[in-house]
Amino acid sequence: MPEQLRLIKKYPNRRLYDTRTSSYITLADVKELVLNHEQFQVVDAKTSEDLTRSILLQIILEEEAGGAPMFTSDLLSHMIRFYGNAMQGMMGKYLESNIKAFTEMQAKLQDQARAIYGENSPVGQDLWAQFLNFQGPALQSMMGAYVDQSKKMFEQMQSQLESQTRNMFTGFQFPAYVKPEDGQPSAPAGKDEGKK
């Protein structure tokens, strides 16, 4: 039987209470749950509102504040610009699928390392770091090609959406457009051609 979702309650005093261990935990403990691939949900103790995303964003903020940040200011600015944009939902799915693809690639490399070096070999445990050190340029080239391919795929999707949208509205009559410079309505294309 699958293990039940781990429930963590957040109290007004900002403390997090793990209902499985019956103890208070910190954001660092929640980060460990994430690293261990444990399924959990954080809820407000009074309202039962789901706060999981908010807690995960706090962990990311702490990680970004300390050490070497993963996100550049440019990347964060681009992400902010997608909020409220028609492409917001698509961008979230696009980022998620790219991260999943990268994670799968990393898992395959780790599986291959285990097959070669064994489960508990010290060489296998930090093979990913060694691989990145020795194969940095090759990996960057491979990831660059992957990003280019993703960009092209995204542009194709955007083009298809625009085309589908245009096709959807081709049969609709639109009211006359008023030109701001003369205040006169402009007849829709083809409307007055036969009246000359």
Provide the pLDDT confidence category of residue 79 given band limits of 50, 70 and 90.
Answer: confident
pLDDT at 196: 46
> What pLDDT digit, counting tens, does each position of 20-56 carry?
999 999 999 999 999 999 999 999 999 999 999 999 9
Q: Which of 41, 68, 71 is nearest to 56 (CA)?
A: 41
Summarize the confidence of residues 106-116 as an average pLDDT: 74
Scan for tokens 């944009």, then name that residue.
85
What residue ranges do the domains of the chain occupy? 6-65, 73-162
Average predicted confidence (pLDDT) for the chain: 78
The answer to whether the predicted template modeling score (pTM) of the entire model surpasses 0.75 is: no
3-class secondary structure, 48: coil
Rounded to 10°, the helix 127-134/88-117 angle is 110
On the question of pLDDT at 151 being above 80, the answer is no
Q: Which residue in 70, 49, 50, 72 sits closest to 59, CA to CA? A: 70
The more confidently predicted of residues 154 and 93 is 93
* Nearest one of 29, 54, 32 to 43, comparing CA atoms: 54
Token pair of 111, please?
Answer: 């599986």
Q: Could you tell me which residues are beta bridge partners of residue 23? A: 18
